[in-house]
Amino acid sequence: MSTSASTQVAGVYHRRLGDALVTGLSDGYVDMGYTIFRNIPEEETKAILARDHRTSPPRISVNAFAVRMDSRTYLIDCGSADLMGPTCGRLPENLAAAGIDPASVDAVLLTHVHPDHSNGLTDAATGTRLFPNAEIIVHENEINHWFNDEAMAKAAERPRRRYFEAGRTQLKPYMAADRVKTFRKGEVLPGVTAIPIHGHTPGHAAYVVSRGGESMVVWGDTVHVPEIQVARPEVTMEFDTDPEAAAAARQMMFDMVVTDDMLVGGMHLHFPGFGHMRREAGRYSLVAEQWAFEV
């Protein structure tokens, strides 16, 4: 038996939601240091990760989700392209493995404009739209913030380059083609409702997909490291624009998911990114959905 295999099979996982097909797509992962956490001692972080048999320092999955229904194809977030290192940027090959031609994507819904969610929109070298027929749907606060020259001038060098400049590079070709649609809240596409969960970024949003009496919420960056932030929802991240608001939005989302018994799709849940939540004795836990061969 050969033991020479060095890579995994395609990062694609399909799931039915009523008469819709939802596909979890891996863009890869990124290994981060302990300094990404704002208000938890490093020793406690290490202890939680060790308890759950997780990589330490933490490894953060990067996922996107495709939704196919009514002969249309929607993509929720679009990966990081070449901005997050060699272990990311795998979305294009996984879209191909899932049978999704970028030209067939009717809309890309952005949870926010951070690079691991939006940097796959445009070829930065040429300005070519990588989803040439797609409309980009994003909360109006994201455009207002990342295109604010005063806010960009106040930002440190790294966020100015990776957030403001990269976000503008990705979105401008779609804006020039009048292919950007903004919202505040509510239904943004048939069967897709946006919920503002501001804090991580000024326009961070979740999307609830409802079909045939079934619903799931794609909650964006509600959690980055599930082992830490599910056990300790008050823990915030260095890249939260408003940490207090981000923590409050996380608590709200956890309560909604548990109360309504909703399926979750998370951009940073371990691939394939689907799960449920439960609450016992005032504490939350995340239960990964069981793998199934049949779609």
181-213: pLDDT as tens digits: 999 999 999 999 999 999 999 999 999 999 999
pLDDT at 74: 98
**pLDDT tens readout for residues 232-250:** 999 999 999 999 999 999 9
pLDDT of residue 9: 86
Residue 288 makes CB contacts below 8 A (sequence gap 6+) with 269, 270, 274, 275
Any alpha helices (H) in 177-284, and if so which ranges? 226-229, 243-259
Q: Is the pLDDT of residue 150 over 90?
A: yes
Does pLDDT of 1 surpass 70? no
Question: Which amino acid type is present at position 205?
Answer: A
86-137 residue pLDDT tens: 999 999 999 999 999 999 999 999 999 999 999 999 999 999 999 999 999 9
Band (pLDDT 50/70/90 cuts) for residue 80 is very high
Domains present along the chain, CATH in parentheses = 12-288 (3.60.15.10)
Specify the pLDDT at position 58.
92
Identify the burial level of 37 via C-beta atoms within 10 angstroms of its C-beta, where 0-12 means exposed, 13-18 middle and 19 or more buried.
Answer: buried
**Residue 221 and residue 267 in contact, taking contact as beta carbons nearer than 8 Å:** yes
Burial (CB < 10 A; 0-12, 13-18, 19+), residue 260, is exposed
